[in-house]
A and B are shown apart, each in its own frame.
Chain A
Amino acid sequence: MPSIIAARGVEKIFRQPRRLPGFIGGLRTLFTREFTEVRAVDGISFDIAAGEATGYLGPNGAGKSTMIKMMTGILVPTAGTLSVLGREPHSNRILNAAEIGVVFGQRSQLWWDLPVRDSFDLNRHIYDIPAGRFTENLRYLTAMLDMGGYIDRPVRQLSLGQRMRAEIAMALLHDPKILFLDEPTIGLDVVAKDAVRKFLAEVNRERGTTIILTTHDLVDIEEICPRLIMVDDGKLLFDGELKRLRATLGSRRRLTLEFAGDPGPIILTSATLTADDGAAKHFLLEDESVSLLDVLEELGRGHGLKDVKLEEPDIEEVIRTFYKTKPQLAGAAP
């Protein structure tokens, strides 16, 4: 498939004026020009093909949003080349903007005081959407995102989940070729997160819209994006399928067994004991093929087992494991 986004050694360095503490320090900043350089994106290269759904994953401050802003043309790379739909985004900002849709989880594009429908209608003018197409898209999006109940209510009265669905609909009204989402599920409850994820996966599958999504929630990637680009501290750590990452690292699930009383030492072949608090014992499941049932079968009856908790590794842990175990994977091609 032809690539529609190509990044080659992209860098972004922010120069931030150094703020000195205190009142005198504040005054001094009026006269001094001291800067600290922050390397937010450090030599990132990748290709994204039309129709792909890619998760851009990393902890806070990893340079995810910066990369999105460069791809959408509102931030100029310090070095390297970036091409989106065959164009350099920042020097063709307006042409680029007409063909992409963007959702910022923490920044609203809707008009706060007006009904959702008015914001949509303004987009019809901005993107010059033909009337028939607009009506059809609006109907599809209203049904899919279940917006019928609040489309005529002012945005300031909406819940965060409703607002986020409206933001996503707004970004899709003009049939963009690429949809960028910067932390679209941030702050949403489980139900709202699930609705957003299902819809995005559907848009990618049914309409062939290329999706690039930043997140620090691993579940977003699992449900929407087969491909994962992982960054930390501005650098590319991993680029490939999520399955491959998991397979390479092992899933390393954490298991906690709680007993009515201290059952004494428990040794299992299927799980490794990491901590023993007496009545609560913590294990690590290294092997993905081991199921909870296997563990419980091995444990057997008669220990007074009260509760079982199985935790998937969170992203910080995956990255930590990744750092420790397989640094040679860094920069690997998909």
Chain B
Amino acid sequence: MKVSAYPAFTVTAFLSRLVYRNQVWSGVFGELVATFAFIAVWTAAFSGSRNVDGVTLPDMVTYVLIAGPLLNWNTTRYIREVGDSIRNGDVTVFLLKPLHYPALLFFNQLGNNAFEQLTITLPVAVIVALTVGLLPPASPAHGLLFLAFWAVSWCMLFLIATLTGLLAFWLLTAFSLEWFLRGIMALASGAVVPLWFMPGALAALLGHLPFAWVSYYPSAVYLGKLDAPTSGVYLLIGLSWLAALAALAGWLWSRARHRLVVQGG
């Protein structure tokens, strides 16, 4: 087997999603409603003030879009897929191939996610930019740093979702875990409320958990709320978290493979 097999999964996943084009319209509509609801909440919260703790309303509008649909992509479908494939035994189909299953999941999800970003997030971003307005990155340097943080964010959320899905090997259910994760993510990733508006102790705690690298840090870097050296430090911490979670996922996967109980037979 060669490495080119994995990108082939990305393409195949993308093509599979193209089949259901009507899902796109409902996706765009739902995301648009949610985004404008958040924008309305922040507009009300600012209630005419130009600046709250050094943050402006346009900052928050941009934050809503980046921290939400762009970075905190919906893991429900993915976790259910991993969980279901374990519960109903479809995982065996992938185990019969000369492939590393977590790597396959990664490239497969990359294809699914690229599809959603292009067909849902992009149109929503264009509509928000034309109606309410979006800010560009704080500086070209912040723009470049954001790209690095974006990559970390994607891998982080992928790993968190994969760990959740893999736990189904032991619990044989991904559903309850997924609800648990959704609650944690809403609070700790900063997708709903940025960490800078949270009480000091809570912000300090959440700021060191891996969830904050999904939404909060990349958005803060984009908006220039962190200077370049500080961003560098947090990028390194984020990469360390990635390494730790990847090791954990790899370990869980190898345990799961050993204890694999294929239903039926």
Contacts and interface: CB of A to CB of B under 8 A. Distances in A.
B5 A72 contact: no
A122 B19 contact: no
Interface stretch (B215-223, B238-246, B256-264): B256-264
B130 interface: no
Contacts of A126: 1, 5, 8, 97-99
27 contacts: A40-B265, A65-B265, A73-B95, A74-B96, A75-B262, A76-B258, A93-B257, A94-B99, A95-B98, A97-B97, A98-B1, A98-B98, A104-B93, A107-B93, A109-B93, A109-B96, A114-B19, A118-B15, A122-B5, A122-B12, A125-B4, A125-B8, A126-B1, A126-B8, A126-B97, A126-B99, A154-B19
Given A114-B15, A128-B1, A122 B9 contact: yes
Contacts of B1: 94, 98, 126-128
Interface string A297-333: 0000000000000000000000000000000000000
A64 B264 CA distance: 11
A65 B262 CA distance: 10
A113 interface: yes
A214 to B, nearest CB: 10
B139 interface: no
Contact of A127 (B89, B98, B260): B98
Contacts, number: 80
A72 B20 CA distance: 34
B100 interface: yes
A102 B94 CA distance: 11
Nearest to A65: B265
A261 to B, nearest CB: 51
Q: Chain B CB within 10 Å — which of A63, A113, A154 has the most?
A: A113
Contacts of A125: 2, 4-5, 8
B260 A128 contact: no
Interface string A28-41: 00000000000010
For chain A, the bracket of interface size reads 35 or more
A73 B257 CA distance: 10
A94 B94 CA distance: 11
A76 B260 contact: yes
A54 B202 CA distance: 65
B26 interface: no
Nearest to A68: B265
Contacts of A100: 96
B92 interface: yes
A95 B99 CA distance: 10
A122 B264 contact: no
Contact of A107 (B92, B97, B258): B92
Contacts of A98: 1, 98
A69 B5 contact: no
A102 B93 CA distance: 9
Given A74-B260, A76-B258, A118-B12, A113 B96 contact: no
Given A66-B265, A69-B265, A72-B96, 16 more contacts: A65-B264, A65-B265, A74-B96, A74-B260, A74-B262, A75-B262, A93-B257, A98-B1, A114-B15, A114-B16, A118-B12, A125-B2, A125-B8, A126-B1, A126-B98, A128-B2
Interface of B: 1-2, 4-5, 8-9, 12, 15-16, 19-20, 89-90, 92-93, 95-100, 257-258, 260-262, 264-265
Contacts of B89: 107
The 8 closest A-B pairs by CB, nearest first: A65-B265, A125-B8, A98-B98, A66-B265, A97-B98, A125-B5, A113-B19, A74-B95
A282 B90 CA distance: 46
A107 to B, nearest CB: 6
Interface string A189-217: 00000000000000000000000000000
A288 to B, nearest CB: 35
A125 B1 CA distance: 8
Nearest to B96: A102
B265 A122 contact: no
Given A40-B265, A128-B2, A128-B5, A113 B95 contact: no
A69 B4 contact: no
A77 to B, nearest CB: 12
Interface string A48-69: 0000000000000001111001
Nearest to A64: B265
Q: Chain A CB within 10 Å — which of B89, B100, B265 has the most?
A: B265
